[in-house]
């Protein structure tokens, strides 16, 4: 049996992620490997930590990578911060809030949830009422939930959690880099992300930042595996119930002790490092503003085509919009036609929104004027051929106006 080299078809990925990786990131990934304790490698690790402190807007020493997709970062944070039978509060407003609740439940937590209607966000007053009532050890919330495209305000939640003695964890997988995020100013204790959205990279590495309060909880659950344990290492009875996702051991691997935990995913570290370098070279706020502009142009374009937008637009993420599929139209057929004829991918959704909306992303390397205009022009043609009355050039013209062209 013979196989051919990998040769993926040309695609413009304009869905909710993954997106096309920046060519600089792909080049960085092709660099040669070095040993995990080579001074060059540990130097790259230290540089990556420093770069992501700027991306997260934090002074947290404990800012590093979890090897694995964004879900690996989520699971590492929750399983390391939550002891079995401790209470966790999850404010939910889309599919990924349900994911946080499930991971906490699997970690043995007593999970409590409050829900907002899909297309809305959770109010700070609702969070405070629930925190005061439940008295959780951890509040876990998504910032940008791509299933609904809503961007949850976070600026008041850190103070609410601190007032009631809870830690605040934020899943910023789909939002970091393209939307405002201020880890220190907002009082966030733990946050995780992925590379495959606004950070312009591939899936497979999860940036994480941890406050001193979060690190203290993790350290209180310390247990180092027997084969590498020193005589003075203590072992907590409440040790983290995962070996791979034990952030205490991962911190020791990234820290001065360089305690062997796993072999770092070197090529993914190269990718994550380059993602951060690209953002900081352009300017962190400039990247957020670019996402705001591209997202606004896409929003204006789909509305000018006569399409309805799902949810509270005032709380929409910069980097993705949910478009109501016109009545009587086969949404999957339109997605297929876009892919076959134009090489453009847009997304569907989950749960109550499955088959009801398309999700169109403008994120990372693809938050560009040409990508927005190309997608709108192609969508117009596919809709017209499907029998939908759309104004000729309406989407592109509206997007150009949004860009000030």
Of the candidates 180, 213, 209, the one whose C-alpha atom is nearest the C-alpha of residue 193 is: 209
Segment 308-362, tens digit of pLDDT: 999 999 999 999 999 999 999 999 999 999 999 999 999 998 889 999 999 999 9
pLDDT band of 230, cuts 50, 70, 90? confident
Residues 6+ apart with CB under 8 A from 202: 18, 21, 25, 29, 195, 196, 268, 271
Query: Cβ(290)–Cβ(367) under 8 Å?
Result: yes
pLDDT band of 30, cuts 50, 70, 90? very high
pLDDT at 54 over 80: yes
Query: Cβ(108)–Cβ(118) under 8 Å?
Result: no
Other Cβ atoms closer than 10 A to 267: 17
Query: Cβ(319)–Cβ(179) under 8 Å?
Result: yes
Coil/strand/helix, residue 344 = strand
Coil/strand/helix, residue 357 = strand
Distance CA 288, CA 275 (A): 14
For residue 232, what pLDDT is reported?
84
Of the candidates 89, 95, 265, 284, the one whose C-alpha atom is nearest the C-alpha of residue 173 is: 95
For residue 302, what pLDDT is reported?
98
Q: What is the mean pLDDT of residues 224-236?
A: 87
Task: Report how far apart, in Å, the C-alpha atoms of 126 and of each of 91, 116, 145, 246 are.
Answer: 9, 10, 18, 32
Coil/strand/helix, residue 177 = coil
For residue 1, what pLDDT is reported?
62
pLDDT band of 233, cuts 50, 70, 90? confident
For residue 41, what pLDDT is reported?
97
CA 97 to chain CA mean position, Å: 13
Query: Cβ(377)–Cβ(351) under 8 Å?
Result: no
Taken in order 196, 122, 134, 165, is the CA torsion positive or negative?
positive
Segment 172-200, tens digit of pLDDT: 999 999 999 999 999 999 999 999 999 99
Cα Rg of the chain (Å, integer): 22
pLDDT at 388 over 90: yes
pLDDT band of 405, cuts 50, 70, 90? confident
pLDDT at 65 over 70: yes
Q: What is the mean pLDDT of residues 115-143?
A: 98
Distance CA 126, CA 115 (A): 9
Distance CA 262, CA 13 (A): 33
For residue 285, what pLDDT is reported?
98
Segment 17-26, tens digit of pLDDT: 999 999 999 9
Distance CA 147, CA 132 (A): 28
Distance CA 247, CA 62 (A): 10
Q: What is the mean pLDDT of residues 298-316?
A: 97
Tokens standing for residue 71: 């879900």
Other Cβ atoms closer than 10 A to 17: 23
Distance CA 218, CA 245 (A): 11
Segment 146-180, tens digit of pLDDT: 999 999 999 999 999 999 999 999 999 999 999 99
Beta bridge partners of 142: 171
Tell me which H or E stretch contains 218. helix 212-219
pLDDT at 82 over 70: yes
Query: Cβ(155)–Cβ(130) under 8 Å?
Result: no
Distance CA 121, CA 151 (A): 7
Tokens standing for residue 159: 């103070």
E strand residue ranges, 164-233? 167-171, 190-192, 205-210
pTM more than 0.95: yes
pLDDT at 363 over 80: yes
């Amino acid at each position: 049996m013979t196989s051919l080299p990998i040769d993926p078809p040309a695609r413009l990925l304009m869905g909710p992620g993954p997106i096309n990786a920046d060519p600089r990131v792909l080049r960085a990934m092709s660099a040669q490997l070095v040993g995990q304790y080579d001074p060059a490698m540990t130097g790259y690790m230290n540089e990556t930590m420093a770069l992501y402190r700027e991306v997260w807007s934090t002074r947290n020493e404990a800012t590093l990578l979890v090897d694995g997709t964004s879900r690996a970062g989520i699971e590492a944070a929750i399983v390391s911060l939550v002891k079995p039978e401790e209470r966790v509060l999850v404010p939910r407003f889309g599919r990924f809030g349900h994911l946080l609740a499930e991971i906490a439940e699997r970690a043995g937590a007593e999970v409590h949830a409050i829900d907002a209607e899909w297309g809305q966000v959770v109010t700070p007053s609702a969070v405070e009422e629930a925190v005061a009532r439940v008295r959780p050890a951890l509040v876990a919330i998504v910032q940008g939930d791509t299933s609904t495209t809503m961007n949850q305000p976070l600026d008041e939640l850190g103070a609410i959690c601190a007032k009631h003695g809870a830690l605040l964890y934020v899943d910023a997988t789909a939002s970091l880099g393209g939307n405002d995020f201020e880890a220190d100013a907002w009082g966030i204790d733990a946050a995780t992300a992925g590379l495959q959205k606004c950070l312009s990279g591939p899936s497979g590495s999860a940036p994480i930042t941890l406050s001193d309060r979060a690190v203290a909880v993790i350290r209180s659950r310390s247990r180092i595996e027997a084969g590498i344990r020193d005589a003075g290492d203590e072992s907590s009875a409440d040790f983290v119930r995962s070996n791979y996702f034990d952030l205490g051991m991962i911190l020791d691997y990234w820290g001065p002790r360089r305690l062997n935990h796993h072999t770092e995913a070197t090529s993914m570290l190269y990718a994550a490092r380059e993602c951060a370098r690209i953002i900081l070279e352009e300017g962190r706020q400039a990247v957020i503003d670019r996402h705001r502009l591209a997202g606004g142009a896409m929003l204006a374009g789909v509305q000018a085509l006569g399409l309805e937008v799902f949810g509270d637009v005032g709380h929409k993420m910069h980097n993705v919009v949910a478009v109501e599929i016109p009545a009587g139209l086969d949404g999957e057929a339109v997605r297929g036609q876009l892919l076959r004829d134009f090489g453009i991918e847009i997304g569907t959704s989950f749960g109550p929104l499955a088959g009801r909306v398309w999700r169109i992303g403008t994120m990372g390397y693809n938050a560009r004027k040409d990508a927005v205009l190309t997608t709108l022009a192609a969508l117009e043609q596919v809709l017209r051929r499907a029998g939908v009355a759309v104004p000729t050039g309406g989407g592109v013209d509206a997007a150009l106006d949004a860009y000030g062209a």
